[in-house]
Amino acid sequence: MAMTEADRFKMHLGLRNMLGDEVANSLMEHLPPSGWSDVARVRDIERIEAEMKDGFTGIRNTLRATIAAMIAVSIGIVAMFVQLNQLIAGL
């Protein structure tokens, strides 16, 4: 069950009564703002890093294939211009 702001306030009041204002405030400052379920764990970050790495690998491979295709098309165009130039020179 998620902790509400009202629950946090009650906890803060209880801590203040038991430990004093300074210690209670310090403890509350170290708690996550909306509960531990919203805090990322190391394995969460590692999973996201792995997904990003896979995504960038896919982008890199697509970019390489696109560049290779553009180079091949460019070579074909240059070859056509050379043939056209030779054909015109032969007229």
- Kindly give, in sequence order, each residue whose CB lies less than 8 Å from that of residue 2, ignoring residues fewer than 6 positions away: 34, 35, 37
Average pLDDT over all residues of the chain? 89
Q: How do residues 33-63 score in pLDDT, each as one tens digit? A: 666 666 778 999 999 999 999 999 999 999 9
Q: How many domains does the chain have?
A: 1
Mean pLDDT of 27-33: 81
Domain that holds residue 14: 5-89
Nearest to 20 by CA among 38, 86, 28, 84: 28
Flag whether pLDDT at 70 surpasses 80.
yes
